[in-house]
A = this chain, B = another copy of it.
Amino acid sequence: MDTIGVDIGGTKIAAGVVDEDGNLLAHTRRDTDPQDPAAIENAVVAAVSELRAQWDVGAVGVAAAGFISPRRDGVVFAPNIAWRDYPLRERLALGIDLPIVIENDANAAGWAEFRFGVAREARSMVMLTVGTGLGGAIVLDDMLLRGSFGAAGEIGHMRMVPNGHYCGCGHEGCWEMYASGRALTRAARNAIITDASRGQRLLELAAADGGKVKGPHVTAAAAEGDPLARELVIQLGHWVGAGIADLVAVLDPQIVVIGGGVAESGDLLLEPAREEFRAQLSARGFRPEAQLEIARLGNEAGIVGAADLARH
């Protein structure tokens, strides 16, 4: 049975038809306004209708950022969209006469990697989505961990540093503030304050982009070989690895997958993450070690995972 996956982002939605092997058969997009829930729903309905015009599908999976209700029918809280205890499934059901499930976007992407990507041979996995923020998905014994209130996997808010960087969540020292695109942005700007001469390439890329230095400028400059940018990505990799050591101590998964936009740095990120993970892993040498790998499915992982979760 083919199914549709929908990935609701801050400013656009992406939807696609996915087969049972995780292949994306068709694809469409809509721009949306995060302030307008009704418009988002209309866009989802329209995208699903467009795809169904040509494909026979059995269910729809919808991925969105935020806490999802345990029954997977609504959004308890979303960081970027004006949803609070929002009955998203019921609203979408007004325009879609198929079974619908709602899922957290990092969970959907993680599930795709687990079923069809780099973790497809594992039975337990942790996936980090290192994008603007830091999200997580946890699969244990082939089951996606949702938590008793739908809030499991909020790994970005583990405290890495007491009295550390302030996070948008109001706390200090959250892992996300050391291991995310936002962290890369902040670290780059501060490195330039302390020594502007090292930031020439970053400043050029930012200027060409019409503004201040941001995370993607750092990953781009690192890919070119810029010394400061490489150093910043390596430092981020160390923080990624340090937190993974904590997760592995708790969860003992077979594999840890690193995805999200920052993961496009590939080995430059992966190697320091592995190094720090090994250095920090408790009882190393007395236990097999979880593998660390970069995700394979890229931006489509959310659609693919949501579609597959709708099937089960």
A283–B193 CA distance with the chains assembled, in angstroms: 9
Q: Give residues of chain A (137-171) contacting chain B, Cβ–Cβ below 8 Å.
A: 138, 140-141, 143, 145-155, 157-166, 168-171
A220–B178 CA distance with the chains assembled, in angstroms: 34
Stretch at the interface among A244-252, A262-270, A292-300: A244-252
Q: How many copies does the complex hold?
A: 4
Q: Give residues of chain A (38-86) contacting chain B, Cβ–Cβ below 8 Å.
A: 67, 76-77, 84
Out of B141, B147, B172, name the residue touching A251 (CB < 8 Å): B147
A178–B173 CA distance with the chains assembled, in angstroms: 14
Out of B124, B140, B148, B157, name the residue touching A123 (CB < 8 Å): B148
10 contacts between A and B (CB under 8 A): A67-B286, A67-B287, A77-B287, A148-B288, A151-B283, A151-B287, A153-B250, A165-B165, A171-B190, A250-B251
Count chain A residues whose beta carbon lies closer than 8 angstroms to a beta carbon of B.
68
A154 → B minimal CB distance (Å): 4
Q: Is the CB–CB distance between A247 and B250 below 8 Å?
A: yes
A195–B148 CA distance with the chains assembled, in angstroms: 22
Out of B168, B194, B245, B252, name the residue touching A284 (CB < 8 Å): B194
B residues near A193, Cβ cutoff 8 Å:
168-170
A278 → B minimal CB distance (Å): 9
Q: Is the CB–CB distance between A158 and B246 below 8 Å?
A: yes
Out of B168, B171, B286, name the residue touching A280 (CB < 8 Å): B171
Answer whether residue A174 sits at the interface, using C-beta atoms and an 8 A cutoff. Answer: yes
B residues near A252, Cβ cutoff 8 Å:
145-154
B residues near A210, Cβ cutoff 8 Å:
none
Q: Is the CB–CB distance between A194 and B178 below 8 Å?
A: no
Q: Give residues of chain A (252-277) contacting chain B, Cβ–Cβ below 8 Å.
A: 252-254
Q: A124-B148, A148-B124, A166-B186 are in contact. Are A154 and B249 (CB under 8 A)?
A: yes
Q: A194-B169, A287-B67 are in contact. Are A148 and B282 (CB under 8 A)?
A: no
Q: A161-B162, A193-B169, A279-B194 are in contact. Are A286 and B77 (CB under 8 A)?
A: yes
A282–B156 CA distance with the chains assembled, in angstroms: 10
Q: Is the CB–CB distance between A76 and B279 below 8 Å?
A: no
B residues near A141, Cβ cutoff 8 Å:
143
Answer whether residue A242 sits at the interface, using C-beta atoms and an 8 A cutoff. Answer: yes
B residues near A186, Cβ cutoff 8 Å:
166
A132–B242 CA distance with the chains assembled, in angstroms: 25
Q: Is the CB–CB distance between A195 and B164 below 8 Å?
A: no
Out of B148, B155, B285, name the residue touching A250 (CB < 8 Å): B155
Answer whether residue A136 sits at the interface, using C-beta atoms and an 8 A cutoff. Answer: yes
Q: Is the CB–CB distance between A162 and B165 below 8 Å?
A: no
